[in-house]
Amino acid sequence: MAEPRLSLRGVTRAFGALRVSDAVDLDLRQGEIHALIGPNGAGKSTLIAQICGALRPDAGRILLEGRDVTAWDVPRRARAGLGRTFQVSSLASEDTALQNVMLAVAGRGGRLRVWSRALGRGDLTAPAREALAQVGLEGEAHTPVGALSHGAWRRVEIACALAMAPRALVMDEPLAGLGTEGVADLSALLRRVKVRAPILLVEHDMDAVFALADRVSVLVGGRIIATGPGEAIRQNAGVQDAYLGPVS
């Protein structure tokens, strides 16, 4: 079997006496959407922070395409192909959608020129426009992000991640606050995206999770208590006890 794009091996982290990550093993395989679910306070956000490099694990390793990135900082992991979207908007709201995505293109190249016009550079604008087109926002390229709808800035976040030609994606609640139609639209987009880069998806909307995810991992009290296909997880007695409740 192909090597996982992203793997966690024994990732452990404590805040004082509180173990927020307890020997977490996790694989994100090519082509999949892997949902990470669990009750509030289970440690999902802190696990994502460790994957992306914002928080150091006390023990364990994080591998991106087999390379140990545990000691790398956030920008270096991003340049290596780890894309992410945030739960609350991380975008520069005064800048246009195109500018936000261009930033990702410029960052991927790792060289920020001081002496050329950003908007005049086809090598920045062309990939950025393409990424915006992929999320269906080519018409809003020149709209300041602050003036976009909630659903649209979610898409800009995804466009930014795509513009980095990611090898793996981590998304923190991309469907939150979207409404039924928005969830359907964005789910369709995520299905197209996963072909290019697998997605580790933290999500609270269980209907969407079980509709989207190829595999699901359940995190409770910092530990992964089960991993498997959606249907198996739904029927899993331990998971029902700890989190989902009995299948109705």
Ligand X SMILES: Nc1ncnc2c1ncn2[C@@H]1O[C@H](COP(=O)(O)OP(=O)(O)O)[C@@H](O)[C@H]1O
Contacted entry of Mg ion, ligand X, other proteins, none for residue 181, CB cut-off 5 to 8 Å set by kind: none
Residues numbered 69-98 forming contacts with other proteins, rule: CB under 8 A: 73-76, 78-79, 83-84, 86, 90-95
54 binds ligand X (CB under 6 A): no
If one asks whether residue 100 binds ligand X (CB under 6 A), the answer comes out as no
- Is residue 169 within 8 A of residue 199, CB to CB? The reply is yes
Q: Which is nearer to ligand X, 44 or 129 (CB)?
A: 44
Measured from the CB atom, is 2 or 112 closer to other proteins? Answer: 112
Half-sphere exposure of 142 (CA within 13 A, CB side): 1
40 binds ligand X (CB under 6 A): yes
| DSSP annotation string for 219-240 | EETTEEEEEE-HHHHHH-HHHI
Among 40-48, 56-64, 191-199, 233-241, the segment contacting ligand X (CB under 6 A): 40-48
- Judge whether 201 and 174 are in contact, CB under 8 Å: yes
218 binds ligand X (CB under 6 A): no
The CA distances from residue 16 to 20, 21, 48, in Å, are 10, 12, 19
CA angle 41, 44, 45 (to 5 degrees): 95
45 scored as a contact of Mg ion (CB under 5 A): yes
Give the per-residue SS3 of 199-212: EEEECCCHHHHHHH
Angle between helices 150-163 and 179-196 (to 10 degrees): 0
Eight-state DSSP code of residue 140:
G
Comparing C-alpha atoms, which of 95, 167, 98 is closest to residue 130? Answer: 98
Q: Which of 2, 17, 40, 116 binds other proteins (CB under 8 A)?
A: 116
Q: Which of residues 7-36 bind ligand X (CB under 6 A)?
A: 15, 18, 20
Q: How far is the CB of 106 from other proteins (least distance, A)?
A: 4
Which residues bind to ligand X, rule: CB under 6 A? 15, 18, 20, 38, 40-46
Which residues bind to Mg ion, rule: CB under 5 A? 45
Which residues bind to other proteins, rule: CB under 8 A? 52, 73-76, 78-79, 83-84, 86, 90-95, 99-100, 102-104, 106-108, 110, 112-119, 121, 124, 160-161, 164
